[in-house]
Amino acid sequence: MIRTKLCDLLGIEYPVLQGGMAWVSDARLASAVSEAGGLGIIGTGHAPPDFVRDQIRKAKEYTDKPFGVNVMLLSPFVEEVMKVILEEGVAVVTTGAGNPGKYVPALQARGTKVIPVVPSVALAKRLERAKVDAVIAEGMESGGHIGELTTMVLVPQVVDAVKVPVIAAGGIGDGRGVAAALALGASGIQMGTRFVCAEECTVHARVKEAILKAKDRDTVVTGRPTGHPVRCIKNKLTRQFEELEARCRPVEEFEKLGIGRLRAAMVEGDTEYGSVMAGQIAGLVSEIKPAKLIIEELMAGAVEVMRRLGGMAGEGR
Protein backbone atom coordinates (compact mmCIF):
# COMPACT_ATOMS: atom_id res chain seq x y z
CA MET A 1 0.00 0.00 0.00
CA ILE A 2 1.00 3.60 -0.46
CA ARG A 3 2.01 5.59 2.62
CA THR A 4 3.43 9.10 2.44
CA LYS A 5 4.49 11.77 4.93
CA LEU A 6 0.94 13.13 4.67
CA CYS A 7 -0.38 9.95 6.32
CA ASP A 8 1.86 10.55 9.34
CA LEU A 9 1.09 14.28 9.45
CA LEU A 10 -2.68 13.69 9.56
CA GLY A 11 -2.84 10.27 11.23
CA ILE A 12 -4.59 8.63 8.28
CA GLU A 13 -4.08 5.31 6.53
CA TYR A 14 -4.25 6.47 2.89
CA PRO A 15 -3.05 9.83 1.46
CA VAL A 16 -6.56 10.64 0.24
CA LEU A 17 -8.62 13.71 1.18
CA GLN A 18 -12.27 14.06 0.30
CA GLY A 19 -12.75 17.63 -0.91
CA GLY A 20 -14.99 19.79 1.27
CA MET A 21 -18.12 20.49 -0.77
CA ALA A 22 -20.83 22.91 0.34
CA TRP A 23 -24.31 21.32 0.61
CA VAL A 24 -22.71 17.98 -0.36
CA SER A 25 -20.06 16.72 2.06
CA ASP A 26 -21.82 16.62 5.40
CA ALA A 27 -20.91 14.71 8.56
CA ARG A 28 -22.25 11.48 7.01
CA LEU A 29 -19.93 11.45 3.96
CA ALA A 30 -16.95 12.91 5.83
CA SER A 31 -17.13 10.30 8.59
CA ALA A 32 -17.53 7.47 6.05
CA VAL A 33 -14.36 8.59 4.25
CA SER A 34 -12.46 8.91 7.53
CA GLU A 35 -13.70 5.50 8.70
CA ALA A 36 -12.39 4.09 5.40
CA GLY A 37 -8.87 5.40 6.13
CA GLY A 38 -8.90 8.70 4.20
CA LEU A 39 -9.60 12.19 5.52
CA GLY A 40 -13.26 13.14 5.28
CA ILE A 41 -13.96 16.87 5.16
CA ILE A 42 -17.20 18.67 6.05
CA GLY A 43 -17.98 21.39 3.50
CA THR A 44 -19.39 24.59 4.97
CA GLY A 45 -19.73 27.06 2.07
CA HIS A 46 -21.96 29.91 3.27
CA ALA A 47 -23.45 27.87 6.14
CA PRO A 48 -24.16 29.64 9.44
CA PRO A 49 -22.06 28.78 12.54
CA ASP A 50 -24.77 26.67 14.26
CA PHE A 51 -24.98 24.36 11.25
CA VAL A 52 -21.21 23.91 11.32
CA ARG A 53 -21.21 23.12 15.04
CA ASP A 54 -23.98 20.56 14.54
CA GLN A 55 -22.09 18.86 11.69
CA ILE A 56 -18.84 18.70 13.68
CA ARG A 57 -20.65 17.13 16.63
CA LYS A 58 -22.38 14.60 14.37
CA ALA A 59 -19.08 13.62 12.70
CA LYS A 60 -17.56 13.07 16.15
CA GLU A 61 -20.47 10.74 16.96
CA TYR A 62 -20.03 8.79 13.72
CA THR A 63 -16.22 8.35 13.85
CA ASP A 64 -13.28 8.43 16.25
CA LYS A 65 -10.90 8.98 13.35
CA PRO A 66 -9.59 12.41 12.33
CA PHE A 67 -11.73 14.49 9.98
CA GLY A 68 -11.58 18.02 8.60
CA VAL A 69 -13.74 21.08 8.02
CA ASN A 70 -13.45 23.22 4.89
CA VAL A 71 -13.91 26.95 5.36
CA MET A 72 -14.89 28.98 2.31
CA LEU A 73 -13.19 32.30 2.93
CA LEU A 74 -15.78 34.26 0.88
CA SER A 75 -18.50 33.25 3.34
CA PRO A 76 -20.13 36.09 5.29
CA PHE A 77 -19.81 33.86 8.39
CA VAL A 78 -16.04 33.16 8.23
CA GLU A 79 -15.22 34.70 11.60
CA GLU A 80 -18.06 32.93 13.43
CA VAL A 81 -17.32 29.62 11.71
CA MET A 82 -13.65 29.85 12.72
CA LYS A 83 -14.77 30.54 16.30
CA VAL A 84 -16.96 27.40 16.29
CA ILE A 85 -14.05 25.35 14.93
CA LEU A 86 -11.78 26.63 17.71
CA GLU A 87 -14.42 25.83 20.34
CA GLU A 88 -15.20 22.34 19.04
CA GLY A 89 -11.64 21.37 18.03
CA VAL A 90 -11.14 19.50 14.75
CA ALA A 91 -8.08 17.70 13.38
CA VAL A 92 -7.80 19.61 10.11
CA VAL A 93 -9.06 22.83 8.52
CA THR A 94 -8.84 23.26 4.78
CA THR A 95 -9.66 26.59 3.19
CA GLY A 96 -10.81 27.77 -0.21
CA ALA A 97 -11.19 31.00 -2.16
CA GLY A 98 -8.70 33.15 -0.27
CA ASN A 99 -5.74 33.57 2.06
CA PRO A 100 -6.27 32.06 5.55
CA GLY A 101 -2.95 33.37 6.94
CA LYS A 102 -4.44 35.32 9.84
CA TYR A 103 -6.26 32.27 11.23
CA VAL A 104 -3.22 29.96 11.25
CA PRO A 105 -1.75 30.73 14.72
CA ALA A 106 -5.01 30.27 16.67
CA LEU A 107 -5.97 27.07 14.84
CA GLN A 108 -2.55 25.51 15.31
CA ALA A 109 -2.49 26.52 19.00
CA ARG A 110 -5.70 24.46 19.31
CA GLY A 111 -3.96 21.47 17.66
CA THR A 112 -5.66 21.91 14.27
CA LYS A 113 -3.64 21.36 11.09
CA VAL A 114 -4.21 24.09 8.49
CA ILE A 115 -4.19 23.13 4.81
CA PRO A 116 -5.22 25.86 2.35
CA VAL A 117 -6.09 25.41 -1.30
CA VAL A 118 -3.62 27.36 -3.42
CA PRO A 119 -4.19 28.15 -7.10
CA SER A 120 -0.66 29.53 -7.63
CA VAL A 121 2.99 29.19 -6.63
CA ALA A 122 2.95 32.72 -5.17
CA LEU A 123 0.18 31.94 -2.67
CA ALA A 124 1.79 28.58 -1.79
CA LYS A 125 5.03 30.37 -0.88
CA ARG A 126 3.24 33.11 1.05
CA LEU A 127 1.29 30.55 3.08
CA GLU A 128 4.37 28.44 3.76
CA ARG A 129 5.82 31.55 5.37
CA ALA A 130 2.59 31.78 7.41
CA LYS A 131 3.50 28.25 8.67
CA VAL A 132 0.63 26.22 7.17
CA ASP A 133 1.02 22.44 7.60
CA ALA A 134 0.55 21.50 3.92
CA VAL A 135 -1.05 22.95 0.79
CA ILE A 136 -3.60 21.66 -1.69
CA ALA A 137 -2.56 22.55 -5.26
CA GLU A 138 -5.90 22.53 -7.04
CA GLY A 139 -6.09 22.66 -10.82
CA MET A 140 -8.91 24.16 -12.87
CA GLU A 141 -10.20 20.70 -13.78
CA SER A 142 -11.96 20.83 -10.40
CA GLY A 143 -15.60 21.55 -9.83
CA GLY A 144 -16.84 24.70 -8.12
CA HIS A 145 -14.71 27.79 -7.60
CA ILE A 146 -11.44 27.38 -9.52
CA GLY A 147 -8.12 29.00 -10.39
CA GLU A 148 -6.54 29.34 -13.82
CA LEU A 149 -3.87 26.62 -13.99
CA THR A 150 -4.28 22.93 -14.67
CA THR A 151 -3.26 20.30 -12.14
CA MET A 152 -0.50 19.01 -14.44
CA VAL A 153 1.08 22.46 -14.56
CA LEU A 154 0.42 23.69 -11.02
CA VAL A 155 1.41 20.67 -8.91
CA PRO A 156 5.08 20.24 -9.96
CA GLN A 157 5.70 24.00 -9.72
CA VAL A 158 4.23 24.16 -6.21
CA VAL A 159 6.20 21.03 -5.24
CA ASP A 160 9.42 22.76 -6.32
CA ALA A 161 8.52 25.99 -4.53
CA VAL A 162 7.66 24.76 -1.01
CA LYS A 163 8.94 22.21 1.53
CA VAL A 164 5.57 21.42 3.14
CA PRO A 165 3.64 18.43 1.75
CA VAL A 166 1.65 19.17 -1.41
CA ILE A 167 -1.74 17.56 -2.05
CA ALA A 168 -2.81 17.41 -5.70
CA ALA A 169 -6.44 18.14 -6.57
CA GLY A 170 -8.44 18.60 -9.75
CA GLY A 171 -9.08 15.92 -12.33
CA ILE A 172 -8.27 12.93 -10.15
CA GLY A 173 -10.84 10.14 -10.19
CA ASP A 174 -9.04 6.80 -10.14
CA GLY A 175 -5.74 5.07 -9.42
CA ARG A 176 -4.13 6.42 -12.57
CA GLY A 177 -4.74 9.95 -11.32
CA VAL A 178 -3.26 9.12 -7.92
CA ALA A 179 -0.13 7.62 -9.51
CA ALA A 180 0.17 10.67 -11.79
CA ALA A 181 -0.12 13.03 -8.81
CA LEU A 182 2.60 11.13 -6.95
CA ALA A 183 4.75 11.26 -10.10
CA LEU A 184 4.38 15.05 -10.08
CA GLY A 185 5.77 15.08 -6.54
CA ALA A 186 2.55 15.31 -4.54
CA SER A 187 2.34 13.60 -1.13
CA GLY A 188 -1.35 12.89 -1.51
CA ILE A 189 -4.50 13.73 -3.40
CA GLN A 190 -7.85 15.38 -2.84
CA MET A 191 -10.89 14.16 -4.73
CA GLY A 192 -14.37 15.68 -4.75
CA THR A 193 -16.50 14.69 -7.74
CA ARG A 194 -15.90 10.95 -7.33
CA PHE A 195 -17.01 11.11 -3.69
CA VAL A 196 -20.27 12.86 -4.67
CA CYS A 197 -21.17 9.45 -6.09
CA ALA A 198 -20.37 7.66 -2.82
CA GLU A 199 -23.31 5.75 -1.39
CA GLU A 200 -22.99 7.72 1.86
CA CYS A 201 -23.21 11.09 0.10
CA THR A 202 -26.56 12.68 0.98
CA VAL A 203 -26.69 14.97 -2.08
CA HIS A 204 -29.91 14.77 -4.15
CA ALA A 205 -30.06 11.62 -6.31
CA ARG A 206 -30.48 13.72 -9.48
CA VAL A 207 -27.03 15.26 -8.89
CA LYS A 208 -25.45 11.81 -8.69
CA GLU A 209 -27.29 10.87 -11.90
CA ALA A 210 -26.04 14.03 -13.64
CA ILE A 211 -22.44 13.12 -12.76
CA LEU A 212 -22.87 9.49 -13.84
CA LYS A 213 -24.34 10.68 -17.15
CA ALA A 214 -21.74 13.40 -17.78
CA LYS A 215 -19.19 12.96 -20.57
CA ASP A 216 -15.74 14.53 -20.90
CA ARG A 217 -16.97 17.90 -22.29
CA ASP A 218 -20.10 18.29 -20.20
CA THR A 219 -18.79 20.86 -17.70
CA VAL A 220 -18.31 24.57 -18.35
CA VAL A 221 -16.72 27.50 -16.49
CA THR A 222 -18.94 30.53 -15.98
CA GLY A 223 -18.57 33.72 -13.99
CA ARG A 224 -15.06 34.67 -15.16
CA PRO A 225 -16.03 38.38 -15.47
CA THR A 226 -16.97 38.41 -11.76
CA GLY A 227 -13.49 37.29 -10.67
CA HIS A 228 -15.00 34.10 -9.22
CA PRO A 229 -15.09 31.51 -12.01
CA VAL A 230 -17.06 28.36 -11.22
CA ARG A 231 -17.14 24.98 -13.01
CA CYS A 232 -20.52 23.24 -13.27
CA ILE A 233 -22.22 20.63 -15.39
CA LYS A 234 -23.78 22.37 -18.41
CA ASN A 235 -27.51 23.09 -18.03
CA LYS A 236 -30.08 25.85 -18.51
CA LEU A 237 -28.52 27.93 -15.72
CA THR A 238 -24.98 27.82 -17.19
CA ARG A 239 -26.47 28.91 -20.53
CA GLN A 240 -28.09 31.89 -18.80
CA PHE A 241 -24.70 32.78 -17.29
CA GLU A 242 -23.08 32.49 -20.72
CA GLU A 243 -25.68 34.89 -22.09
CA LEU A 244 -24.87 37.45 -19.40
CA GLU A 245 -21.19 37.09 -20.34
CA ALA A 246 -21.88 37.50 -24.07
CA ARG A 247 -23.89 40.65 -23.34
CA CYS A 248 -21.18 41.99 -20.95
CA ARG A 249 -23.76 42.46 -18.20
CA PRO A 250 -22.63 43.92 -14.84
CA VAL A 251 -21.42 41.72 -11.95
CA GLU A 252 -24.62 42.34 -9.95
CA GLU A 253 -26.65 40.45 -12.56
CA PHE A 254 -24.39 37.39 -12.21
CA GLU A 255 -24.71 37.57 -8.43
CA LYS A 256 -28.49 37.83 -8.61
CA LEU A 257 -28.74 34.86 -10.97
CA GLY A 258 -26.49 32.76 -8.69
CA ILE A 259 -28.35 33.29 -5.41
CA GLY A 260 -29.46 30.00 -3.85
CA ARG A 261 -28.57 27.99 -6.98
CA LEU A 262 -26.08 25.62 -5.30
CA ARG A 263 -28.61 24.61 -2.67
CA ALA A 264 -31.30 24.28 -5.36
CA ALA A 265 -29.19 21.69 -7.18
CA MET A 266 -27.62 19.77 -4.32
CA VAL A 267 -30.55 19.69 -1.89
CA GLU A 268 -33.67 20.07 -4.05
CA GLY A 269 -32.28 18.25 -7.09
CA ASP A 270 -32.91 21.09 -9.55
CA THR A 271 -30.32 19.99 -12.10
CA GLU A 272 -31.77 22.30 -14.80
CA TYR A 273 -31.63 25.66 -13.03
CA GLY A 274 -29.29 24.78 -10.14
CA SER A 275 -25.48 24.98 -9.93
CA VAL A 276 -24.40 21.37 -10.41
CA MET A 277 -20.77 21.94 -9.45
CA ALA A 278 -18.57 19.06 -10.64
CA GLY A 279 -15.10 18.56 -12.06
CA GLN A 280 -14.09 17.56 -15.58
CA ILE A 281 -13.41 14.05 -14.27
CA ALA A 282 -17.21 13.55 -13.99
CA GLY A 283 -16.92 11.80 -17.36
CA LEU A 284 -14.93 9.04 -15.68
CA VAL A 285 -17.35 8.47 -12.80
CA SER A 286 -19.72 5.65 -13.70
CA GLU A 287 -20.91 3.96 -10.51
CA ILE A 288 -22.33 4.69 -7.06
CA LYS A 289 -20.30 2.82 -4.45
CA PRO A 290 -19.55 2.92 -0.73
CA ALA A 291 -16.72 5.34 0.17
CA LYS A 292 -14.65 2.43 1.47
CA LEU A 293 -14.77 0.65 -1.89
CA ILE A 294 -13.95 3.87 -3.76
CA ILE A 295 -10.82 4.31 -1.64
CA GLU A 296 -9.78 0.65 -1.84
CA GLU A 297 -10.12 0.59 -5.63
CA LEU A 298 -8.35 3.94 -5.90
CA MET A 299 -5.33 2.74 -3.95
CA ALA A 300 -5.20 -0.71 -5.56
CA GLY A 301 -5.36 1.00 -8.97
CA ALA A 302 -2.49 3.33 -8.08
CA VAL A 303 -0.32 0.44 -6.87
CA GLU A 304 -1.03 -1.45 -10.10
CA VAL A 305 -0.04 1.54 -12.28
CA MET A 306 3.13 2.15 -10.31
CA ARG A 307 4.10 -1.51 -10.59
CA ARG A 308 3.56 -1.41 -14.35
CA LEU A 309 5.57 1.80 -14.73
CA GLY A 310 8.37 0.38 -12.57
CA GLY A 311 8.49 -2.60 -14.91
CA MET A 312 8.73 -0.33 -17.95
CA ALA A 313 11.70 1.49 -16.41
CA GLY A 314 13.31 -1.87 -15.71
CA GLU A 315 12.91 -2.86 -19.36
CA GLY A 316 14.68 0.34 -20.39
CA ARG A 317 11.73 1.71 -22.40
Contact residues toward ligand TUI (CB under 6 A) are: 22, 45, 72, 96-99, 117, 119, 123, 138, 144-147, 228, 230, 262, 277
Q: Give least dist CB 307 to ligand TUI, A.
A: 33
d(CA 25, CA 34): 12
The count of C-alpha atoms lying within 13 angstroms of the C-alpha of 49, restricted to the half-sphere facing its C-beta, is 13
Q: Give least dist CB 150 to ligand TUI, A.
A: 13
Residue type for 122, please?
Answer: A
CB 241 within 8 A of CB 257: yes
Q: Is 51 or 303 the residue whose CB approaches ligand TUI more closely?
A: 51
Q: Point out which residues pair with 135 in neighbouring strands.
A: 166
Q: Is 191 or 299 the residue whose CB approaches ligand TUI more closely?
A: 191
d(CA 313, CA 317): 6
Q: Is 6 or 302 the residue whose CB approaches ligand TUI more closely?
A: 6
**How do strand 230-233 and strand 219-222 relate by DSSP bridges?**
antiparallel
Q: Give least dist CB 23 to ligand TUI, A.
A: 9
Q: Is 63 or 219 the residue whose CB approaches ligand TUI more closely?
A: 219
Q: What are the CA-CA distances from residue 135 to residues 106, 180, 224 (Å)?
A: 18, 18, 24
What lies within 8 Å, CB to CB, of 51 at 6+ separation is: 44
Give, as one character, the DSSP assignment of residue 198: B
Q: Give least dist CB 138 to ligand TUI, A.
A: 5
DSSP H helices, 184-290, are: 193-196, 205-213, 236-246, 251-258, 261-266
Q: Give least dist CB 8 to ligand TUI, A.
A: 25
Residue type for 112, please?
Answer: T
Q: Is 107 or 302 the residue whose CB approaches ligand TUI more closely?
A: 107
Q: Give least dist CB 4 to ligand TUI, A.
A: 21
Q: Is 119 or 171 the residue whose CB approaches ligand TUI more closely?
A: 119
From the centroid of its chain, how far is CA 122? 20
Q: Is 37 or 68 the residue whose CB approaches ligand TUI more closely?
A: 68
Q: Is 115 or 305 the residue whose CB approaches ligand TUI more closely?
A: 115
Q: Give least dist CB 101 to ligand TUI, A.
A: 9
Gyration radius (Cα) of the chain, Å = 19
Q: What are the CA-CA distances from residue 76 to residues 46, 81, 82, 131 (Å)?
A: 7, 10, 12, 25
Q: Give least dist CB 317 to ligand TUI, A.
A: 37
**How do strand 68-72 and strand 166-169 relate by DSSP bridges?**
unpaired
